[in-house]
Structure formats: C-alpha cells, structure tokens
Amino acid sequence: MQVTVKYFGLTHSIAGKREEMITLSEGKTLDALKGLLYEKYPLSTTQAFFNVNGKGVLEEEMDRYILSDGDAIMVIPPISGG
C-alpha cells in the first residue's frame, strides 16, 4: 500500500522535502511509520505530531492505528506564538 507523508515547518526542513510517497506492507501501524521516518530522517531532534486524513492521532494510540492505502499523513512540529 502507499501513503503520502507531508512535512510542515521544522519537519520539512529536517526531511528536506514537503511531501513523499511511502510504500508499506498491509497492516502497518502509524507507530511503525513513525519509526521508519525517525530512522530515515533525524526527526527525533524535534517533537512532532502526526495527523492522518485530517484527524490528530494521540501518541498512545499510534501503535493501534492501522494505516490504509491512500492515507495522507501530516508530520507537524509544535506551534507556538502569541
């Protein structure tokens, strides 16, 4: 299956791209994808939030969140401002 990963803010700078297609085997979880991305890029240097198809996924749910073909995953750094 293929998913689209979109990087925003600092994660875009770290990955060096705005978006990429990633091929995964069926039944992979969001946590498995996160691990793959953290191996591929030094994303562990910043905290990142993961959003799937417009819905935020809590850290404690990522190991149970099964991805589907065509999912759009956004990798978003914390946002601050005043």
| Structural domains of the chain, with CATH | 2-76 (3.10.20.30)
Is pLDDT larger for residue 46 or for residue 73?
Answer: 73
The pLDDT score that the predictor gives to residue 39 is 92
Q: Which two tokens stand for residue 70?
A: 């065509």
Q: Residue 72: in which H helix or E strand, if any?
A: strand 72-76
pLDDT (average), residues 43-72: 92
- CA-CA distance, 69 to 3, in Å (whole number)? 6
The pLDDT score that the predictor gives to residue 79 is 74
* Predicted TM-score of the model (pTM): 0.90
Q: Which two tokens stand for residue 15?
A: 């990955």
The pLDDT score that the predictor gives to residue 78 is 80
